[in-house]
């Protein structure tokens, strides 16, 4: 009987120690979970900030591309106009000195616009 009691006390002590260890493991896991949740929230906020910044940069890029295209079209249009003036004027006015003066005058008009 005495041996059973001693055995019972030792088992109870063993289970008590195991319970304390399990409780400490649970507390430790709960702390790690809390830290992980904070980290996830921080990363989500950073992702949202970067996404908003990316959208803003994309809008600015698109706006700049449109401005570049408009300016290119304008320059190309001016060059095309000069070539057309030169082509038409040489065929209409010929290569005479008077025709050449008219061509220079028309080209100078194109330079002023």
CA-based torsion, 19, 20, 26, 29: positive or negative: negative
The pLDDT of residue 27 is 97
The residue among 68 and 3 whose pLDDT is bigger is: 68
Is the per-residue pLDDT at 31 higher than 60?
Answer: yes
Write out the two tokens for 87: 């082509």
Q: Determine phi and psi for 43, rounding to 5 degrees.
A: -65, -35
pLDDT tens per residue, range 43-60: 999 999 999 999 999 998
DSSP H or E stretch at residue 4 = helix 2-93
Over residues 70-85, mean pLDDT:
66
Q: Mean pLDDT over residues 82-101, rounded?
A: 61
User: pLDDT at position 109, please?
Assistant: 65
Extents of the domains making up the chain: 2-112
- Band (pLDDT 50/70/90 cuts) for residue 106 is low
């Amino acid at each position: 009987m005495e041996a059973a009691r001693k055995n019972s006390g030792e088992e109870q002590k063993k289970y008590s120690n195991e319970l304390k260890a399990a409780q400490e493991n649970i507390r430790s896991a709960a702390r790690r979970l809390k830290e992980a949740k904070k980290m996830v929230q921080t990363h989500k906020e950073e992702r949202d900030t970067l996404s908003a910044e990316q959208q803003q940069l994309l809008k600015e890029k698109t706006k700049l591309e449109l401005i570049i295209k408009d300016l290119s079209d304008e320059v190309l249009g001016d060059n095309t106009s000069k070539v057309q003036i030169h082509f038409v004027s040489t065929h209409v006015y010929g290569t005479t000195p008077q025709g050449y003066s008219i061509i220079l005058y028309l080209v100078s008009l194109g330079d002023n616009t």
